[in-house]
C-alpha cells in the first residue's frame, strides 16, 4: 500500500463533518483490498473487519471528517457569507482558495479588505468575522442559481512534500491517522494475529465525536484505541505541549487511558523497538476516545496520537515515518495482546 499516495488522496478530498462520502469512498476501496469485510453503518462510519484468532475484539478508530465552512448568506452583489463547521481560526482564512459545493463545484477565494483601504486602527487587528466573504466571480443571480444556503465549502489545498518524509496539507487531522490504521491493516494482512480487529474511519468527530459513539455501540469491542493528532513542536508552543516529528507516535496517559492498555503498548513498543513518546493528559480531551470509553457499559480504551504542526490550518505538517511507526505499534498490539490480557482488563 502506497501510504504517501493515500495520504494525498484523502487530504485533497472534500468531506466536512456530516458530508464525508468522498474520503469514505477512498478508504472503503483501500480497506477492501486488505480486510475480510468492509461496510458502512447508518451514520456513515466506514468499518473494516480483520479476523484474528478470536482472543478478543479490538476497535481502532480515527476520524475522517474535516473542519469546513457553510454558506450562510448570498448578498446582493454575489458575495457569499459563511459560517464555520468545526474549530476554524478565522485569522488563517484570509486569501484561502475554496471549493463551494453547490449544484456544481465552484472555485472561489476568501477575500478581505486590503491594508491600503484599512484605517490605521484596523491594521493592527485581526479581521472581524463579519468582514469575511467568498468571491466566486459570478453575478448575484448566477450565484443564487447555483448555490443554496447550507451548502458546504472546503479549503482547496494540494499536499506538498517538504524535505525528507515531511508533508504539509489540509485535513491531516485526522485523515493521516486513517492512513496509520491502513498501515496497521497492511501488516495484519500478512500475519495470524490474536485479536479480531475492527478499524473504523469515524464521521462527525469535529462536531462532537458522534461517529465514534455510534461505532463503539455497534461494534461492541472488548477494548479500543482511538488514534488522533496531537501538537507537534514548533516556535511558540510550550515544551510540554509539543511533540517531536519523526520520533514516533505519542501514547497518552490520563483519564481516557486504561492503565493496562498503556502498559501493554509500552511493553510491546519496547520489545519491537518501536519509537514512541508519552503525553501526560490531565483531562479527557475532545477525541474519539472520549465517546468510546463511555459507550455501552464502558470500554477499556486509550489514545495514541500523531504529532502534527499547525493543527486546524490548511498547512498541517507531519512526518510520514510517524504514521508508519504508529501503524506498526497498532499491528504489534493486535498480534501480541491475547485472551488472558483481554480478560484481565476489568481487574485494576
> CATH code at 182?
3.40.630.10
Examine the domain organization and report whether 277 and 241 are in the same domain: yes
Q: What is the CATH number of the domain that holds 115?
A: 2.40.30.40
Provide the number of structural domains found in the chain: 2
Per-residue pLDDT at 340 exceeds 90: yes
The 10s digit of each residue's pLDDT in 46-82 is 999 999 999 999 999 999 999 999 999 999 999 999 9
* pLDDT confidence of residue 347: 79
Question: Residues 6 or more apart from 310 whose CB is under 8 A from it?
Answer: 168, 234, 316, 317
> Which position among 20, 66, 205, 316 bears the catalytic label?
205
Examine the domain organization and report whether 146 and 176 are in the same domain: no
Is residue 91 situated within a structural domain?
yes
* pLDDT confidence of residue 136: 98
Question: Residues 6 or more apart from 27 whose CB is under 8 A from it?
Answer: 10, 46, 64, 178, 182, 201
* pLDDT confidence of residue 325: 98
Examine the domain organization and report whether 264 and 334 are in the same domain: yes
pTM of the model: 0.95
Domain endpoint, select from 155, 184, 218: 155
Examine the domain organization and report whether 111 and 221 are in the same domain: no
Examine the domain organization and report whether 336 and 274 are in the same domain: yes
Is residue 163 situated within a structural domain?
no
State the average pLDDT over residues 117-131. Answer: 78
Rounded to the nearest 5 degrees, what angle is found at the Cα of 124, between the Cα atoms of 120 and 127?
100
Q: Are 211 and 47 in contact (CB under 8 A)?
A: no
Q: Is 205 marked active-site? A: yes
The 10s digit of each residue's pLDDT in 20-29 is 999 999 999 9
More confident residue, 15 or 111: 15
**What is the pLDDT confidence band of residue 128, given thresholds at 50, 70 and 90?**
confident
Is residue 26 situated within a structural domain?
yes
* pLDDT confidence of residue 115: 77
Euclidean distance between CA atoms 22 and 14, whole angstroms: 6
Domain endpoint, select from 111, 129, 155: 155
Examine the domain organization and report whether 209 and 335 are in the same domain: yes
The 10s digit of each residue's pLDDT in 201-256 is 999 999 999 999 999 999 999 999 999 999 999 998 888 889 999 999 999 998 88
Examine the domain organization and report whether 43 and 129 are in the same domain: no
Q: What is the mean pLDDT of the chain?
A: 95
* pLDDT confidence of residue 286: 86
Examine the domain organization and report whether 49 and 175 are in the same domain: yes
Euclidean distance between CA atoms 219 and 268, whole angstroms: 25
Strands 223-231 and 300-308: parallel
Helix (H) or strand (E) holding 214: helix 210-219
Is residue 175 situated within a structural domain?
yes
Domain endpoint, select from 155, 190, 209: 155
Examine the domain organization and report whether 119 and 30 are in the same domain: no
* pLDDT confidence of residue 339: 96
Assign 190 to helix, strand or coil. Answer: coil
Examine the domain organization and report whether 30 and 127 are in the same domain: no
Is residue 132 situated within a structural domain?
yes
Residue whose C-alpha cell is 518524509: 165
State the average pLDDT over residues 159-176. Answer: 98
Residue 97: give the domain boundaries: 68-155
The 10s digit of each residue's pLDDT in 286-338 is 899 999 999 999 999 999 999 999 999 999 999 999 999 999 999 999 999 99
Examine the domain organization and report whether 58 and 72 are in the same domain: no
Euclidean distance between CA atoms 313 and 147, whole angstroms: 25
What size, in residues, is the chain?
348
SS3 content of the chain, % helix, strand, coil (to 5): 30, 30, 40
Examine the domain organization and report whether 27 and 77 are in the same domain: no
Counting residues of the chain whose pLDDT is more than 70, the rounded percentage is 99
Is residue 222 situated within a structural domain?
yes
Amino acid at each position: 500500500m502506497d501510504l504517501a499516495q493515500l495520504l494525498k488522496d484523502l487530504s485533497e478530498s472534500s468531506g466536512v463533518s456530516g458530508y464525508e462520502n468522498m474520503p469514505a469512498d477512498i478508504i472503503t476501496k483501500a480497506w477492501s483490498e486488505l480486510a475480510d469485510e468492509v461496510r458502512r453503518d447508518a451514520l456513515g462510519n466506514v468499518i473494516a473487519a480483520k479476523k484474528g484468532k478470536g482472543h478478543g475484539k479490538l476497535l481502532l478508530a480515527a476520524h475522517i471528517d474535516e473542519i469546513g465552512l457553510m454558506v450562510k448568506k448570498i448578498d446582493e452583489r454575489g458575495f457569499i457569507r459563511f459560517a464555520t463547521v468545526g474549530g476554524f481560526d478565522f485569522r488563517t482564512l484570509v486569501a484561502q482558495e475554496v471549493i463551494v459545493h453547490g449544484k456544481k463545484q465552484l472555485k472561489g477565494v476568501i477575500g478581505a479588505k486590503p491594508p491600503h483601504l484599512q484605517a490605521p486602527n484596523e491594521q493592527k487587528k485581526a479581521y472581524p468575522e463579519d468582514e469575511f466573504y467568498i468571491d466566486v466571480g459570478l453575478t448575484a443571480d448566477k450565484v443564487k442559481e447555483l448555490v443554496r444556503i447550507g451548502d458546504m465549502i472546503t479549503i482547496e489545498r494540494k499536499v506538498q512534500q517538504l524535505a525528507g518524509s515531511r508533508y504539509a496539507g489540509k485535513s491531516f487531522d485526522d485523515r493521516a491517522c486513517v492512513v496509520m490504521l491502513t498501515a496497521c491493516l497492511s501488516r495484519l494482512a500478512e500475519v495470524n494475529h490474536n485479536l479480531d480487529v475492527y478499524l473504523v474511519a469515524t464521521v462527525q468527530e469535529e462536531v462532537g465525536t458522534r461517529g465514534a459513539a455510534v461505532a463503539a455501540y455497534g461494534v461492541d469491542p472488548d477494548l479500543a484505541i482511538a488514534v488522533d493528532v496531537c501538537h507537534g513542536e514548533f516556535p511558540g508552543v510550550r515544551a510540554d505541549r509539543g511533540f517531536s516529528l519523526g520520533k514516533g507516535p505519542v501514547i497518552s496517559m490520563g483519564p481516557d487511558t486504561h492503565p493496562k492498555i498503556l502498559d501493554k503498548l509500552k511493553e510491546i513498543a519496547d520489545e519491537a523497538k518501536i519509537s514512541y513518546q508519552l503525553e501526560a493528559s490531565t483531562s479527557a480531551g475532545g477525541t474519539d476516545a472520549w465517546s468510546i470509553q463511555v459507550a455501552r457499559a464502558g470500554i477499556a480504551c486509550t489514545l495514541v496520537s500523531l504529532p502534527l504542526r499547525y493543527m486546524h490550518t490548511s498547512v498541517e505538517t507531519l512526518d510520514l515515518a510517524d504514521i508508519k511507526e504508529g501503524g506498526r505499534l497498532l499491528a504489534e498490539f493486535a498480534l501480541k495482546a491475547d485472551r488472558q490480557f483481554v480478560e484481565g482488563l476489568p481487574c485494576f
